[in-house]
Structure 1
Amino acid sequence: MRTSIATVCLSGSLRQKMRAAAAAGFDGIEVFEQDLVVAPETPEHIRDYAAELGLTLDLYQPFRDAEGTEEQLFQDTLRRVEEKFRLMNRLGMDLMLIPSNAGTATVDDDAVVASQLARMADLAADYGIRLAYEALAWGRFVNDFEHSWRLVEAADRENLGVCLDTFHILSRQWSTETVPDIPGDKVFFVQLADAPLMSLDVLSWSRHFRVFPGEGGFDLVDFMIKLLAGGYSGPLSLEIFNDSFRQTRVHRTAVDALRSLIWLQDRTARTLEASTGTTTNVSRATARIGELTRLPGAVVPQGITWAEVRGQETEQVEMLLSHLGFNHRGRHTSKPVQLWEHGDARVVINEEPRAQDAPSMASLGFEVQHDAAAAAHASALMVPEVPRVTREGEQPFPAYLAPDGTEIFFCPPQSAGGDRWLTEFSWPDHLDVAARRRPDPETDHDLPLITGIDHVNLAQPKHHYPESVLFYRAALGLTVQPSQDVPGPTGLVSSQVVRNESGSVRLPLNVAPDLGSEPEVEHIAFACTDVVRLARRAQASGLRFLPIPHNYYEDLRARFDLPDAKIEELSSLNLLYDRDDRGEFLHFYTQTVGSLFFEVVQRLDGYGGYGAPNAPVRMASQYTHSLLSR
Structure 2
Amino acid sequence: MRTSMATVCISGTLADKLRACADAGFDGVEIFEPDLLAAAESPEEIAALAARLGLSLDLYQPLRDVEGVGDEEFAKVLRRAEAKFRLMNRLGIDLVLCCSNVATATINDDEVSAGQLRRLGDLAAGYGIRVAFEALAWGRFVDDYRRAWRIVQLADHPAVGVCLDSFHILSRGHDPAGIADIPGEKILFVQLADAPRLRMDVLSWSRHHRLFPGEGDFDLVDFTSRIVAAGYDGPWSLEVFNDTFRQTDPYRTARHARRSLRWLEDAVARVFPDAAGRDDLEMLPDSAAPSGVDFVEIKAEDTSEVEELLAQLGFTPRGRHRTKPVQLWTAGAARVVLNEQHARGWEPQLAAIGLEVDDAEAVDLRMSELRVPRAYRRTYAHEERLDGAIAPDGTEVYWAQASDEGEPAWVAEFEHGEPERPTAITRVDHVSLSQPWQAIEEATLFYTAGFALRVHSSTDVPGPQGLVASRVLVSPAGEVRLPLNVAPPILAGERAGAALPQHVAFACSDARSLARDARARGFVPLAMPRNYYDDIAARFDLGVEAVEELRELHLGYDRDATGEYLHFYTRTVGEVFLEFVERVEAYAGYGAGTAPVRLTAQRRR
Tell me the TM-score normalised to structure 2 length.
Answer: 0.97
Equivalent in the alignment of 1:128:
128
Q: 1:314, CA displacement in angstroms?
A: 2.2
Distance in 2 (CA, whole Å) between partners of 1:253 and 1:416 is 42
Give the structure 1 partner of residue 585 of structure 2. Answer: 605
Distance 2:267 2:322 in 1: 43
Q: CA shift at 1:514, angstroms?
A: 2.8
Distance in 2, Cα, partners of 1:83 & 1:551: 70
How far apart are the structure 2 equivalents of 1:142 and 1:356?
60
Offset from partner CA, 1:497-516 (integer Å, 9 cap, x none): 11111111100011111345
1:90 alignment partner in structure 2:
90
Within the candidate set 319, 334, 339, 2:308 is matched to 319
Q: Deviations over 1:253-297 (max 9, x none)?
A: 111111111110101111124xxxxxxxxx5x4553x33132112
Q: Counterpart of 2:568?
A: 588
In 2, the alpha carbon distance for the partners of 1:41 and 1:580 equals 62
CA shift for structure 1 position 306? 0.5
Of 354-363 and 528-537, the range deviating more from structure 2: 354-363
1:223-622 maps to which residues of 2 (within 5 A)? 223-273=223-273, 285=275, 287-288=277-278, 290-415=279-404, 419-428=408-417, 431=418, 435-436=419-420, 447-515=422-490, 517=494, 518-622=498-602
Per-residue CA deviations over 1:576-611 (Å, capped at 9, x if unaligned) read 111122111111111111111000000111111111
For 1:371 and 1:418, the matched residues in 2 are separated by 16
Contact persistence 2:152–2:162 (CA under 8 A)? yes
- Cα shift at 1:326: 0.8
Whole-Å separation in 2 of the counterparts to 1:413 and 1:164: 44
SS in 1 for 2:248: coil
Letter of the 1:270 partner, please give it. Answer: R
Whether the 8 Å CA contact 2:289–2:476 is kept in 1: the answer is no
Gaps of 5+ in 2: none
Give the aligned CA root-mean-square deviation in angstroms: 1.5
Helix, strand or coil: the match of 1:82? Answer: helix
1:276 — aligned with what? Answer: none
Query: How many Å separate the matches in 1 of 2:551 and 2:190?
Result: 58
* Partners of 1:298 and 1:474 within 8 A in 2: no
Deviations 1:112-159 (A, max 9, x none): 222211111111111111000111111111111111111111111111
Q: Quick check: 2:499–2:603 contact (8 Å CA) kept in 1? A: no
Cα deviation digits, residues 464-514 of structure 1 (max 9, x gap)? 110000000001111112311111111111111111111111000111113
For 1:424 and 1:549, locate their aligned partners in 2 and report how far apart those are by CA, in whole Å.
44
Q: Measure the CA separation in 1 of the matches of 2:25 and 2:282.
A: 13
The Cα shift of 1:417 comes to: 8.9
Asked whether the equivalents of residues 180 and 231 of structure 1 are also in contact (C-alpha less than 8 Å), the reply is: no
Residues 1:139 and 1:56: Cα distance change in structure 2 (over 3 Å):
same
**Residues 416 and 531 from structure 1, CA distance in 2 versus in 1: closer, same or farther, beyond 3 angstroms?**
closer
Secondary structure, counterpart of 1:232 in structure 2: coil
**Unmatched 5+ residue regions in structure 1?**
274-282, 440-446, 626-630
Deviations 1:374-416 (A, max 9, x none): 1111111001111211011111111111111110111112237
SS in 1 for 2:260: helix
1:600-628 superposed Cα distances (whole Å, 9 cap, x missing partner): 00011111111112111111111121xxx
1:452, distance to aligned residue in structure 2 (A) = 0.6
C-alpha contact 1:304 1:453 (8 A) present in aligned 2: yes
Counterpart of 2:504, as a letter, is I
Residue 313 of structure 1 deviates from its aligned partner by 3.1
The one-letter code of the counterpart of 1:374 is V
Contact 1:310 1:355 in 2 (8 A): no
1:356 deviates by 3.7
Aligned partners of 1:59 and 1:470: how far apart in 2?
Answer: 27
Contact 2:268/2:276 (<8 A) preserved = no
Other structure's SS at 1:510 match = strand
Q: Which amino acid aligns with 1:345?
A: A
Sequence identity of aligned pairs in percent?
Answer: 53
* 2:27 equivalent to 1:38: no
C-alpha distance in 2, partners of 1:608/1:235?
42
